[in-house]
Structure 1
């Protein structure tokens, strides 16, 4: 049998007081009396401890080393009586606090030990993997209370996120995979909406933050369009001479087929569909600019400038001009208006685009502007085809 602290218990021995002086001086290490007759000898860690039969029988024993001790020398540890030495030397389970005998578990970078029973039967924290009582685990994330304090929380549902999460530009919030997959995205910023959001009659979902900035007043939208005309003329030197009609419209929530027909003037529905924010068209000699209502002011300035640039192009540029040239120039005009208005965040979003023809076209005109200047850029826009 394996004994802690190198314990060895001898068989009963007999001390004869009449035979030798050693027997005369043999005293019990517990009561101090001279031993005459049988006694018990303990050997532990190289030390011999002699105990008379009376003390060995009546004194409580340490449950670990099995030595007898006076009651005030033992500590009650979860129902076990242990001597001070065994308390110091023993390993205790961090969960049940019982002394560990035999196999135990220890996590890396953690001083805590766990008995085999607790480790196998107790659920683990989803983050640190420590065995943790179920009452101390967050039901949603499976994290222990300590880890729960450190976990990021989803900007949509508010739950703690264990594992991977999603980030979106221009926000410090993070989002769990469930919300990114299942929740509606804000039409303006593209971020998953929270439990409270706005639903426009045309079907658009708008988050609370973006809804605080949207412009739904038609007269204000018309004032923005007028201001854009003035800014483009004064700062960029371009002006559309042919009058146009400004149409402020909702999003077409029927189908792309209906929207395409509306673009051709075949029905009275809105021609804007999906992610479209604006449109310029010339139909039967009549010019029109369509702007989507319910956009934040910076997006209205950007869209109005973009479509106004198309109105100018319809008068000044070759009809066979490539899509990259048409959209790239319109994006450059929109970027300059955003810059003038100080809408830095929306300008950054515009400049980050790499899609064709908008992103690639804008970068093309931005390079021309930097190298040749505004006047040469406009002359290039008037003449270039590809």
Structure 2
């Protein structure tokens, strides 16, 4: 059986019979000793080549150009470790994660397309992705807010005799309101004061009801927060005071889950289901109860006539 030997160097075309020696790489690339020592190499796979191009600051071969990811912040080629944040498919380099300021919403590092928004009590940061989806003012927020109320009445079946007043504010204001809340107010916000997840709060003072939501949130997040806080308003109208946090917050997350699902916000739905804190634990309990006994059992549980 005759064995075929390569005749030419794949890079320079030199007849291999003239040089006597050659190298064969696992991908079938055949090169002469001169090209092995002098030819430029792909910075990702290390193979020498003649069709290399600069991509994201790295010299890459055609194969690696189709495979390498670029940092979503600085645009540099990710030749080694790439980092993900949450469920976003965007990848980042270690330097951007360590050295750049982060978006207040998704914690992605900020690039030049992001926005830093000055406020009376500090600065708010939005990365380019969150800013592109941000609710830009009270008119837009009010329309979304009214839409959430409509879905809330249709899907989880929670109706309110009147709509709490909506306010957009800085996160620092939410934290101050959380600290200053009167004893008769519903807990409505997330976590403790200073918690980066404190995005909204429901306040009840006498017969006055107000909902405060952080300004410039992405639309899907704004709708989820609005649904959560409106569920607290429903609890107040039902006279459900002093509920355990697991019940009060878990039920509000359950209501938000159904609103988000009805609106087709798949990314936000995954975010709610991914939570493992008290809010997520309460949501999972209410979802399990609903699956086993139906929505009537959920309403009975939050009213205290059925153990959760």
TM-score strictly above 0.5: yes
- Per mean C-alpha deviation after superposition, the further-off stretch among 201-210 and 332-341 is 201-210
Answering whether residue 44 of structure 2 is matched by residue 127 of structure 1, we say: yes
- The residue that corresponds to 1:198 in the other structure is 115
Distance in 1 (CA, whole Å) between partners of 2:93 and 2:241 is 49
Distance in 1 (CA, whole Å) between partners of 2:6 and 2:26 is 21
Distance in 2 (CA, whole Å) between partners of 1:127 and 1:220 is 46
Check 1:217–1:91 CA distance in 2 against 1; reply closer, same or farther (3 A cut).
Answer: closer
Bigger RCO of structures 1 and 2 (CA < 8 A, at least 6 apart): 2
Answering whether residue 99 of structure 2 is matched by residue 178 of structure 1, we say: no
Which of 76, 79, 89 is the matching residue for 1:159?
76
Which of 291, 296, 301 is the matching residue for 1:375?
296
- The residue that corresponds to 1:146 in the other structure is 62
Q: Within 5 Å, give how 1:188-227 maps onto structure 2.
A: 188-202=105-119, 203-227=123-147
Q: 2:73 touches 2:92 (CA, 8 Å); kept in 1? A: yes
In structure 2, the residue corresponding to 1:214 is in which secondary structure? coil
Aligned CA RMSD, in angstroms, stands at: 3.8
Check 1:226–1:141 CA distance in 2 against 1; reply closer, same or farther (3 A cut).
Answer: closer
Distance in 2 (CA, whole Å) between partners of 1:245 and 1:194 is 35
Q: Deviations over 1:158-199 (max 9, x none)?
A: 333323323456655443443344444444444444432222
- Residue 378 of structure 1 deviates from its aligned partner by 0.6
Distance in 1 (CA, whole Å) between partners of 2:194 and 2:200 is 7
In structure 1, the residue corresponding to 2:197 is in which secondary structure? coil
- Residue 111 of structure 1 deviates from its aligned partner by 3.5
Structure 2 gaps, min length 5? 182-192
Which of 251, 258, 265 is the matching residue for 1:343?
265
Aligned residues: 286
Distance in 1 (CA, whole Å) between partners of 2:29 and 2:163 is 79
Higher Cα radius of gyration: 1
Distance in 2 (CA, whole Å) between partners of 1:166 and 1:361 is 30
Which of 81, 106, 109 is the matching residue for 2:24?
106
- The residue that corresponds to 1:265 in the other structure is 180
- The residue that corresponds to 2:248 in the other structure is 326
Distance in 2 (CA, whole Å) between partners of 1:141 and 1:264 is 48
Question: What is the TM-score normalised by the length of structure 1?
Answer: 0.61
Q: 1:228 touches 1:337 (CA, 8 Å); kept in 2? A: yes
Distance in 2 (CA, whole Å) between partners of 1:350 and 1:247 is 23
Distance in 1 (CA, whole Å) between partners of 2:10 and 2:141 is 69
- The residue that corresponds to 1:306 in the other structure is 228
